[in-house]
Amino acid sequence: MMWAGLMVRWKINPLFAKEDGLFLIILIEYFIYYASLRKLKPLIKDVMLNTFKKQQKDTLQEIEVNKKAINDIERKLARLEERFVFEEINTAQYEKFKSMLTQEKNEKLMFSEKVGFNL
């Protein structure tokens, strides 16, 4: 429907007929390219994602291990705070284990920053 309108304008309006309709040819080629690109975009995206995953397989596995480790550390920190609140451990023990767990967590997060992924 849009192309038909362009064809009518090209025949009626001499401005569109300049240089043997080169403008119209370029415009139609653009629309064909754009339409095919829209259809191919999901396929191209899937191919790129699969290629990336294959190339980064080891790194992605290590990132998954780091995610699990960070979640474990966060659970340990929560349990540590809980034990401190209920006076099962004293302040010195709390500070010692909190700093140790926080340092370990920061090391895991630094790895993710180094490889460019956010956990």
At 66-92, the pLDDT tens digits run 999 999 999 999 999 999 999 999 999
- Check residues 26 and 82 and name the one with the higher pLDDT: 82
Note the pTM of the prediction, 2 decimals: 0.55
Do 101 and 107 form a contact (C-beta atoms < 8 A)? no
Q: What is the DSSP string of 60-114?
A: HHHHHHHHHHHHHHHHHHHHHHHHHHTTSS-HHHHHHHHHHHHHHHHHHHHHHHH
Residue 11 token pair: 């025949």
Tell me, what's the pLDDT at 46? 86
Dist CA 86 CA 82 (whole Å): 6
Is pLDDT above 50 for 98? yes
> Tens digit of pLDDT for each residue in 27-54?
677 777 777 777 777 887 888 888 888 8
Mean pLDDT score, 98-111: 93
Cβ contact 31:6 at 8 Å? no
The predicted pLDDT at position 34 comes to: 76
Q: Round to whole Å and give the CA distance between 31 and 35.
A: 6
